[in-house]
Amino acid sequence: MTTPSLTRILLVEDDPDIQTVACLGLKVVGGFTVEVCSSGSEAIQKAPIFAPDLILLDVMMPGMDGMTTLKALRELPQTLSTPVIFLTAKVQTHEVAYYKQLGVLDVIAKPFDPMTLSATLNRMWFQYHD
């Protein structure tokens, strides 16, 4: 079986500085097509139109947090099975285990290195499809 290519990433992050750093790593270093959303509600609106291969989702956001956004994305037919990776500073063992119980593919700890972010996502993508 051939692994589908990872090209379109929906980045959901409320912090403009982290958006900028993540976009640098994803667009310039990784060559991905990236749609940025500043909130969970914006992600719910844009995800069905953008049709991402993968969603990179901040956990701690005002309004809809990452868990609430994940639940809402899972209720949309277009994103029902789209892999989601959480971006968070809350990476205690029990927290990561909880996120994975919710159905996320994996977790990337903040702060992250924008120069290795794309390689990390590709590794997670290929492990998911292996």
| Cα–Cα distance measured from residue 15 to residue 43, given in angstroms and rounded to the nearest whole number | 14
Kindly indicate the confidence band of residue 117, based on its pLDDT and cuts at 50, 70 and 90: very high
pLDDT tens sequence across 33-54:
999 999 999 999 999 999 999 9
Structure tokens at 57: 């989702």
Q: Parallel, antiparallel, or unpaired: how do β-strands 33-37 and 54-58 relate?
A: unpaired
Q: Give pTM, 2 decimals.
A: 0.96
Q: Is there a cis peptide before residue 111, judged by omega within 30 degrees of 0?
A: yes
pLDDT, position 130? 84
Cβ count within 10 A of residue 110: 18
Helix axes 114-129, 16-23, angle to 10 degrees: 70
